[in-house]
Structure 1
Amino acid sequence: MTDLMTGPTPRTVRRVSLLAVAGALLATGCGGGGHRDEAADRTPRPHASSHSSADGLPGMPPLLDPHDLYAADRPNALSPVVKDFPSRVYVPNTNSDTVSVIDPKTYKVIKTIPVGRQPQHVVPSWDLKTLWVNNDLGHSLTPLDPATGKTGKPVEVHDPYNLYFTPDGKYAVVMASMDRELVFRDPHTMAVKKTVPVSCKGVNHADFSADGRYFIVSCEFSGELLKVDTAAMKVTGKQKLPFKGAMPQDVKISSDGRTWYVADMTADGVWVLDGDKFTEPRLMRTGKGAHGLYVSRDSKSMYISNRGEGTVSVLDLPSRELVKKWKLPDGGSPDMGGVSADGKVLWLSGRYDAEVYAIDTGSGRQLARIPVGRGPHGLAVYPQPGRYSLGHTGIFR
């Protein structure tokens, strides 16, 4: 992701070179028209995404609560698969080609693991048994065993900027940003099952509807969103965000399954979207460089990291209102992360400051500021509550 504060990152340099060769893409990164600082229509409505499990994607575990997608993510509600794993924070250091492992009890780095070139995210597998390190420029995924902390043999995967899993556990979906592809793969071997070329630039982050039948993808470098049919593995919708120079980042669906939020680091806020209708979204300002989106353990709040100003905004999900803003002491660049298993700590990487922040979710107070490698990015807090993982740094249901 482009460094708005201090100039281009190594990834940006790579993108500029590749895009110049292609002669068609932009090195940064939208149509005309102004933006609106207002939330979406608050009138409740019926919607297709939270129907009974019979209406969901075949093979997807039914929701515990059709009105709360994150009902399985309550404090310390760990799956039997992960309950004996040691609690750790895994930090991919994009510019150091390492993963820092933090003990959350002591706030200390206890191990540094060499991985492939330019690790971007640490991603829990659908079955919760493996953490995959996305080595983007190394064109590989490094498997990490969260029970032992040991890595396995890297798997060759081209341009694995980000990684997701379909709700039925049938496929892994690689966000091949520079290849301009969504690549559906076997979730264990990573063998290619289907490659879906896309016309937008910089496929980036995603999330799945409550029924699992579609997912929405952000396209960072063309300021666009895609809607993808999960079972058909086909793009069914595309739209340009109504803000010049938009750079959409993290994507997250609300706990009731009715509203989607897309962080945008140049529009300095989150887009509020009706995913079912896929109509034009509205912009809610949160702060400079809005980037990561994380839901609280009670499903009532969303934490929004504003990377460009060193703050975290708190959105009340039932009312769709911003209710708090926490400022990091001495500034910082809060980026990607996750919430502790007990829900008491928000962990975020400091992308431009070679550090990680631990923030009290009750008060917003900074608990720790931990030095790590250069360019820390998509850290994973693990284990976390939930029955299965949809990928990224941990989207659990």
Structure 2
Amino acid sequence: MSLLHLRFFFSMAFAAGSPFILSSLSHAQPDVGLAKPAIVTPEKTSVAGAAPPPTEEVKTIPGMPPVLNPKNIYSETSGPEKLSPIVAHDLKRVYVPNLRGNSVSVIDQASFKVVDSFKVGRSPQHVVPSWDLRHLWVTNNAEGRADGSLTPIDPVTGRPGPSLPVDDPYNMYFTPDGKFAITVAEAHRRLDFREPLSMALIGSVSTPECSGVNHAGFSGDGRYAIFTCEFGGYLVKVDTVNRKVLGYLKLSKGGMPQDIQTAPDGHRFYVADMMADGVFIVNGDRFEETGFIPTGVGTHGEYISRNSKLLYVANRGSHKIHGPKNGPGSVSVIDLATDKVIKNWPIPGGGSPDMGNVSADGRYLWLSGRFDDVVYAIDTQTGAVRKIPVGLEPHGLTVWPQPGRYSLGHTGILR
């Protein structure tokens, strides 16, 4: 075991209050959720109307850190003052996976310059912070081929460690209790639940009606997650405790859902759809569509502001998976109190804003320019854009460190 892996092991095994439990392959559970479920909406869990008002206490799943503010599940990610002591010595960097370059570009947040670059596995898609904040994982899915892998990055040094072989890790999430990593095997329509250190497979949930299973948002109590189905126009709801599919929901129009973000109330979800050019609103508890917000061409990525009042939406500027350079890309800003677009920032000269995150102080929204081989640093006060050249086809970058107690994965969904 390398020094990097040992460091991760001890931080996970002995962190105060950590629910992390090392699992053995000899105790692996059988695959679950392999039966093909009907395409139906699950039984309603609340009366008709808006999402249920938050109670005084959110009853979370066992092992999940408590929700300290039921009206705002992101209350512990509000700014630099909420940075965990665990990340105190981590470099302030932006890690950019270059999909066609098979590399990661590293940008210094202060100078806005690339200060490092290193090779990883084939087709790196996202850089994913681990549940305990001690690791960044590059998901190299090899576009569904057999040589997929995960490359760990030490956030103190900014350098990679030895990769682990993993089948088709297009994206990766962590259950809210920290017990499992979930690698999203997009090409196989499958969610693989893994031990989050060794990445040993524990069990899988098949999502046969979810073509292009992709991004996820978790409920406020951690009991379920909703995944987008990029190539089928569906959403799939998954029980995170019992590890099974609860049902599918067909969106009313568009048909190419991308990123999904949980609203601060923990019940509603915002779903970006690249063909619908906007954001669907979904009541997660009832699992039904309740609204739609037009944004821009090729709606793709979504990020909550540090004060939890705004949703930044990246419009990629094209309906194509491999679009043109200098397209009509933009960023829309949605007021979460009204679900209205209050600002729209076009990329000067055209561009393709894709995925990323918000800086710890909320000052900059960092996004990859997918078709333009650049990264955008967008001033969240003025909409002014800096462009930083990186490798070929940058995708799911992460900004590090970020405030919060734990990570649910993707490009940094912290709570």
Question: Could you tell me which residue of structure 2 aligns to residue 36 of structure 1?
Answer: none
Shift of residue 51, structure 1, vs aligned partner: 6.2
**1:305-338 deviations in Å (ceiling 9; x for gaps):** 0001311000011121111111111111000000
Contact 2:51 2:268 in 1 (8 A): no
Retained in 2: the 8 A contact 1:250–1:292? yes
State the AA in 2 paired with 1:67: K
Query: Which is worse superposed, 326-335 or 235-244?
Result: 235-244
Partner of 1:214: 224
- What is the identity, as a one-letter code, of the residue corresponding to 1:61? P
State the shift of 1:92 in Å: 0.1
Using structure 2 for the length normalisation, give the TM-score.
0.83
Q: Which amino acid aligns with 2:98?
A: N
**Candidates 39, 46, 49, aligned match of 2:52:** 46
- SS of equivalent to 1:81: helix
**Alignment match, 2:130:** 125
Report the CA distance between 1:363 and its aligned residue.
1.2
Query: What is the CA–CA distance in structure 1 between the aligned matches of 2:339 and 2:190, rounded to whole Å?
Result: 33
Pairs aligned (count): 353
Residue of structure 2 aligned with 1:238, choices 248, 251, 255: 248
Letter in 2 for 1:179: H
- Normalising by structure 1, we get a TM-score of 0.87
- Change beyond 3 A, Cα 1:240–1:43: closer
Deviation at 1:282, TM superposition (A): 3.0
- 1:375-394 aligned at under 5 Å gives the runs 375-394=393-412
- Aligned partner of 1:72 in structure 2 is 76
Q: How does 1:142-291 map to 2 (within 5 A)?
A: 142-199=151-208, 200-243=210-253, 246-291=255-300
Query: What residue in structure 2 maps to residue 295 of structure 1?
Result: 304
C-alpha RMSD over aligned residues: 1.5
Query: 2:100 aligned with 1:95, yes or no?
Result: yes
State the one-letter code of the partner of 1:287. G
The residue type equivalent to 2:217 in the other structure is D
Structure 1, unaligned runs of 5 or more = 1-30, 32-41
Looking at structure 1, the residues matched to 165 and 56 of structure 2 have their Cα atoms a distance apart, in angstroms, of: 38
CA distance in 2 between partners of 1:326 and 1:116 (Å): 34
| Deviation of the 1:237 alpha carbon | 1.2
SS of 2:76's equivalent in the other structure is: helix
- Rate the CA distance shift 1:86–1:261 in 2: closer, same or farther, 3 A: same
| Aligned partners of 1:134 and 1:163 also within 8 Å | yes
The answer on whether the counterparts of 1:51 and 1:211 sit within 8 Å (CA) in structure 2 is: no
Residues 1:338 and 2:367 aligned together: no
8 A Cα contact 1:99 1:112, kept in partner: yes
Q: Distance in 2 between matches of 1:264 and 1:198?
A: 20
Does the CA contact (< 8 Å) of 1:47 and 1:258 recur in 2? Answer: no
Partner of 2:36: none
Letter in structure 1 aligned against 2:203: K
Match of 2:366 among 327, 335, 347: 347
Q: Does 1:58 find its partner at 2:70?
A: no
Measure, in 1, the Cα distance between the counterparts of 2:176 and 2:338.
Answer: 27
Partner residue of 2:115? 110
1:59: Cα distance to partner? Answer: 0.7
Give 1:86 deviation, angstroms. Answer: 1.2
Q: Which runs of 5+ in 2 are unaligned?
A: 1-38, 40-47, 318-327
1:306 aligns with 2:298: no
CA offset at residue 56 of structure 1?
1.0
Q: 1:329 aligned to 335, 341, 348, which one? A: 348
- What's the CA shift for 1:46? 2.2
State the match for 2:391 in structure 1.
373
Task: Compute the displacement of 1:190 (Å).
Answer: 0.6
Mapped to 2, the partners of 1:315 and 1:384 lie a distance apart of: 22
Cα distance change of structure 1 residues 47 and 159 upon mapping to structure 2, 3 Å threshold: farther
